[in-house]
Structure 1
Amino acid sequence: MRKEDCFYLGKIAKKFSYKGEVLIWLDTDEPELYENMESVFVEINKHLVPFFIVTSSLHKGDFLRTRFEDIDNEDDADGIMGKAVYLPLSALPKLDGNRFYFHEIIGFQAEDERLGNIGEIVGVNDNSAQALFEIRKGEIEILVPMIDDFIVKIDRENKKVILNTPEGLVDLYLNS
């Protein structure tokens, strides 16, 4: 499985028992969606390795108490501590309406209600307090905050994100 075909679910945070159980910290708003998985991919030496789950249950909200096949003691568990956990993109629940996954909108056209087509969404910058659409129009990069009030519609059928940006925000990029 290639990393590009997966999404980051969380990481193996700590050992739970002397029998090799671990706690996986889940980086999600809905941890209950991942309670009954059969397997996950664990990143080991930059490769995704499948790990099969024997038992799992939610633990204190954001953690999944997990027992993997072939991890039977603390020493085995030590070998996977701190490792990132991934699932295939196909395991993501489908979103509708104006809810979307960042990877889903890459390649969509960004259309402003006032300005028309303002370019192609080439990425999402979520390294700051406010996530930003990265839009490319020719040689110009336009950054638009991902604010619910700016997002009018996610048109999956036509691969468009319809925006209503305040006057001056996009114009600043286009007129410079």
Structure 2
Amino acid sequence: MKLEDCFYIGYITKTKGLKGEVQIYFEFSDYEDLELDSVFIEINGKLIPYFTAASKLHTNSTGYFYFEDIDTVEKAEKLIRKKIYLPNSKKPEREEGDFYYEDLVGYTVKDEQAGELGEITEVLEYPQQFIAVVPYKFREVMFPLNDDIIVSIDEETSVLEVKLPEGLIDIYVNE
């Protein structure tokens, strides 16, 4: 399985107990809808399949998992901080009209004051908010995605119009 044939869902945060149980933190927003009977774990740049023996999902974007052949804490510790993927064929279908902040990757950002900033290269999800990352004047500018900042989203032209707080761009550019 190749990385481009998969989508990222989260990573292993820690072990639990002595029998190989691990905690997964999901960065995929609809993780409850995922089919998790098997996953791919990225190890040394390769995707290795792991089959789920048992799992329990929690409401705080985490879940506890036992994988086949991972039956000791020592084996489980080798998986900590490893990224987890699923094949694109297992990606849940969206309802028509659904739009997620992650969909803004590739959109051109236009600020009311500074004008065109560039293209969003990444959308990071933090517990309290989503953050857009835009390369601007050879620096990485980051700003929150929320109703106070977003003026409009034009899906046809892939343009995100924003009103960034005064001085925010200066923090990144005038270091």
Q: TM-score, normalised by structure 1?
A: 0.63
1:13 aligns with 2:11: no
Identical positions, percent: 21
Match of 2:121 in 1: 123
Q: Deviations over 1:20-58 (max 9, x none)?
A: 4x1223144868626751222112222121212232112
Mapped to 1, the partners of 2:62 and 2:170 lie a distance apart of 45
Contact 1:36 1:56 in 2 (8 A): no
Match of 1:164 in 2: 163
Instruction: Quote the offset at 1:9 in angstroms.
Output: 0.3
1:133 aligns with 2:105: no
The one-letter amino acid of 1:82's match is: I
Contact 1:125 1:134 in 2 (8 A): no
Contact 2:18 2:73 in 1 (8 A): no
The one-letter amino acid of 1:121's match is: E
Q: Where does structure 2 lack aligned partners over 5 or more consecutive residues?
A: none
The one-letter amino acid of 1:7's match is: Y
Q: Where does structure 1 lack aligned partners over 5 or more consecutive residues?
A: none
Contact 2:113 2:163 in 1 (8 A): no
The one-letter amino acid of 1:9's match is: G
Instruction: Quote the offset at 1:143 in angstroms.
Output: 2.7
The one-letter amino acid of 2:14's match is: A
RMSD, matched Cα = 4.3
Residues 54 and 75 of structure 1: is their aligned pair in 2 closer, same or farther, counting only changes over 3 Å? Answer: same
Q: Which moved more, 1:24-33 or 1:47-56?
A: 24-33
Instruction: Quote the offset at 1:162 in angstroms.
Output: 1.6
The higher radius of gyration belongs to: 1
Q: Deviations over 1:67-126 (max 9, x none)?
A: 32333x3277346441413224843775945x412xx433311123x3595042253486
1:82 aligns with 2:80: yes
Equivalence map 1:93-132=2 (5 Å): 94=94, 96-97=98-99, 99-101=100-102, 104-112=103-111, 114=112, 118-124=116-122, 131-132=131-132
Number of aligned residue pairs: 164
Q: TM-score, normalised by structure 2?
A: 0.63
